[in-house]
Amino acid sequence: MVCAPQRSTYGISKAALIQMVRMLAVEWGPKNIRINAIAPGRLLTDSPSRAGIGFNEDYLTNMLSKIPLGRFASAEDVATIAAFLAGPNASSITGQIIPVDGGLSAA
């Protein structure tokens, strides 16, 4: 989780979701129910919420410089992880938060 000024309520709510995933994985695991979450980083989409900031070149250049892989994740990157987690190859994965952020959360 990346911390930033003026974002405490966002960070607190994100921490609560992380803990919820872990607790539900422990509670529901005995029923063979897996609980995981995907934590996407900045995605470039046509979302109206990006108006005014999402396509600002200076902002995007600055953000991109902080991502170790040097690129933004795509919606397809997130979908691939979701499909994997829902499939049989992830049958032993539970209680995990999977970041899809090009390494930003590790930097």
> For the CA atoms of 1, 12, 35, 78, what is the dihedral angle to 10 degrees?
-50
Q: Looking at residue 10, what is its pLDDT? A: 87
Catalytic residue among 1, 7, 8, 10: 10
- Domains of the chain, first to last: 8-106 (3.40.50.720)
End-to-end Cα distance, the chain: 10
10 catalytic per annotation:
yes
Q: How many helices (H) and strands (E) does the chain have?
A: 3, 2
* Mean pLDDT on 16-37: 98
pLDDT of 30: 98
| Alpha helix ranges (H) inside the chain | 8-28, 57-65, 75-86
Query: pLDDT tens digits, residue range 65-107?
Result: 999 999 999 999 999 999 999 999 999 999 999 999 999 999 8
Model confidence over 32-66: pLDDT tens digits?
Answer: 999 999 999 888 777 656 555 556 788 888 889 99
Q: Which one is predicted more confidently, 28 or 6? A: 28
pLDDT of residue 69: 95
Checking if the pLDDT of 4 tops 90, the result is no
Mean pLDDT of 10-21: 94
